Amino acid sequence: MRRTKIVATIGPASDDPETLARMVEAGMDVARLNFAHGTREEKARTAARIHTAADRAGRQVAILQDLPGPKLRIGPLHEDVVELKAGDSLTLVCGSEEPGDASRVSVPWEGLASAAASGAAGEELYLADGSVRLRIEAVREAECEIDVAVEVGGSIASRQGLNIPGELDELPAVPEEDIELIRFGESIGVDLVALSFVRRPEDVDEVRRHTRSPLIAKIEKPQAVDNVEGIIRASDCVMVARGDLGIELRIEDVPMVQKRVLALAGKLARPSITATQMLEAMIVSSRPTRAEVTDVANAILDGTDALMLSQETAVGNHPVGAVAMMASIAERTEREAPYEDWNENRVRRITSMDDNPGDPAYTVAYNACAAARQLDLSALIIPTLSGRSARLVSAHRPEVPIYALSPGRETVRRCSLMWGVQGARMKRHEVTEELIADAVARVVELGWVRRGSWVGVTAGLPSGRPGTTSLFQVQEA
């Protein structure tokens, strides 16, 4: 049983029903919809297809809504794609969305000119995920125009992201458009929401005022790295978004940031996702490079809960093959991962966290994992309303399967992001004894546990109320 989860981005190469069904069968656990591209109508259609594909395969697949965030983008281009050459001169027209060309490109944010004039934007700007580098030569703040020289050329496309190293406090932390997209996402059944370009914990807190969906903070700004512990505590999950992070930071710093974020997420019992360019060669090739395979394996050995495919499945030639390859690498690497050592060490760290004094759910998670080791249990069964108990047990990396059972379809799907957790629905119970008995019967019915094997079950008093997990019971299935 593979325990590391796979997040796959859905795009033009993968949004047809047949390909989605094959990706689910290949191992996709979470389908990512990038709301920086495409229309709402397209996203609604794709979400419906994902749900249908998952139901037909009998698997739980969560939908992750990735919000654009306060990211700067250039406006449209007349030819949609323009080639910039080193040594060319280019004018950025701020506060405009007029179609551009190789000499003039619009940028919708009017404040960029004043930020550049004050020096807040720095001297360099980047397009095309950092492959095109521009250097500011002159700022005409009154005309809202910036003259730049192309230092490193390449192709740019309409609505492409514009990276500006520096602290731009003028940009809104949570654009109103993101709040509107959250409401739309809820209407089409998304399960998780990823926040782009988070800079501080307050950015997460602001979004939480508008939704009850679990929030994933993407670490892709230097300010986020500086505030990472507070951001993780404020979030339900964290993503190491290495693409923009590698532009905003020195690229040689990214591996150490990844290790630090994954370790901290494990300590704080938050699921983690490692993202960007993991199997990028598979955009065009049927096989990844050896370096990419090593990168995926190292992320697992660093302790990531999930791995994310971006362009590989969104626009690549082998979306199903990329998912299958990721699953294969994960299964092989997990055989060598030191989960037994992590289990003991993480138990000590998580249960001694100073921000959860006296929380019985942490103690129950500790005892569940200790019992699984000492009694050689076949599985840990976690009835849950919110998914929190499953998350805490998952964070300890037990060596036995974790089965999360919930009456809520959304809760079951959200568990698809948690390391080692497999979810299914069960009816709601008001009596704890009935809850435990039905949970054990359900996993036997599903064929997950053999009758007669010994399992551990968590429960709460009173039953049927989220956040009350306080009991652990060992019994025969």
Question: Would 410 be classed as within a structural domain?
Answer: yes
pLDDT grade for 421, boundaries at 50, 70 and 90: very high
Q: What is the pLDDT of residue 357?
A: 52
Q: What is the pLDDT of residue 129?
A: 78
64 and 99 in one domain? Answer: no
Q: What is the pLDDT of residue 352?
A: 47
pLDDT at 13 exceeding the cut of 80: yes
293 and 190 in one domain? Answer: yes
pLDDT digit string, tens, across residues 72-89: 889 999 888 899 999 999
Average pLDDT over residues 61-68: 96
Q: Which of 27-36, 241-250, 259-268 has the lowest mean pLDDT?
A: 241-250
Average pLDDT over residues 325-347: 84
Domain residue limits at 94: 81-163
147 and 197 in one domain? Answer: no
Choose the final residue of a domain: 305, 334, 363: 334
CATH number at residue 329: 3.20.20.60
The closest of 183, 88, 105, 184 to 145, measured between CA atoms, is: 105
Question: Would 311 be classed as within a structural domain?
Answer: yes
Q: What is the pLDDT of residue 37?
A: 84
Across 266-356, where does the E strand assignment appear?
272-275, 306-309
How many residues are given for the chain?
A: 477
Q: Per residue in 235-254, is it b (16+ CB within 10 Å) or e — as a string?
A: bbbbbbbbbbbbbbbeeeeb
187 and 148 in one domain? Answer: no
Question: Would 404 be classed as within a structural domain?
Answer: yes
Contact between 258 and 299 (Cβ < 8 Å): yes
Higher pLDDT, 218 or 70: 218
Question: Would 395 be classed as within a structural domain?
Answer: yes
The set of residues, in sequence order, having a beta carbon less than 8 Å from that of 461 and lying 6+ positions away, is 432, 468, 470, 471
49 and 194 in one domain? Answer: yes
pLDDT at 154 exceeding the cut of 90: yes
- Name residue, tokens 């009935």: 434
Q: Which residues partner with 139 through β-bridges?
A: 146
Instruction: Identify the helix (H) or strand (E) that includes residue 296.
Output: helix 290-302
Q: What is the pLDDT of residue 3?
A: 97
Across 10-50, where does the E strand assignment appear?
30-34
123 and 65 in one domain? Answer: no
CATH number at residue 136: 2.40.33.10
284 and 146 in one domain? Answer: no
297 and 181 in one domain? Answer: yes
Average pLDDT over residues 364-369: 89
143 and 278 in one domain? Answer: no
pLDDT at 460 exceeding the cut of 80: no
CA distance 64 to 32: 5
CA distance 265 to 233: 9
CA distance 254 to 326: 21
Average pLDDT over residues 126-141: 89
50 and 93 in one domain? Answer: no
Q: Please tell me whether residue 424 adopts helix, strand or coil conformation.
A: strand
Average pLDDT over residues 194-206: 94
Phi first, then psi, for residue 8 (nearest 5°) are: -125, 130
Contact between 35 and 47 (Cβ < 8 Å): no
Q: Are strands 237-241 and 215-219 parallel, antiparallel or unpaired?
A: parallel
Q: What is the pLDDT of residue 346?
A: 57
Token pair belonging to 382:
């976690």
Q: Please tell me whether residue 390 adopts helix, strand or coil conformation.
A: helix
Residues labelled catalytic:
32, 73, 218, 276
Residues of the chain by 3-state class (helix, strand, coil), percent to 5: 40, 25, 35
Among left, alpha and beta (phi > 0; psi -120 to 50; other), residue 106 is beta
- Cα–Cα–Cα angle for 188, 189, 192, rounded to 5 degrees: 125
Question: Would 76 be classed as within a structural domain?
Answer: no
The pTM of this model reads: 0.90
Average pLDDT over residues 317-335: 97
216 and 244 in one domain? Answer: yes
Token pair belonging to 339:
């989960």
Average pLDDT over residues 334-351: 70
pLDDT grade for 35, boundaries at 50, 70 and 90: very high
Choose the final residue of a domain: 334, 352, 374: 334
The count of domains in the chain is 3
Choose the final residue of a domain: 280, 302, 334: 334
Q: Which of 55-69, 331-345, 384-398 has the lowest mean pLDDT?
A: 331-345
Question: Would 75 be classed as within a structural domain?
Answer: no
Q: Which of 69-83, 98-112, 225-239, 459-473 has the lowest mean pLDDT?
A: 459-473
CATH number at residue 420: 3.40.1380.20
Contact between 392 and 362 (Cβ < 8 Å): yes
Q: What secondary structure letter does DSSP report for 282?
A: G
Q: What secondary structure letter does DSSP report for 40?
A: H
What is the amino acid identity at position 459?
Answer: A
Q: Which residues partner with 431 through β-bridges?
A: none
Average pLDDT over residues 378-382: 96
Higher pLDDT, 364 or 215: 215
pLDDT at 121 exceeding the cut of 70: no
Specify burial of residue 130 (Cβ count, 10 A radius: 0-12, 13-18, 19+).
middle
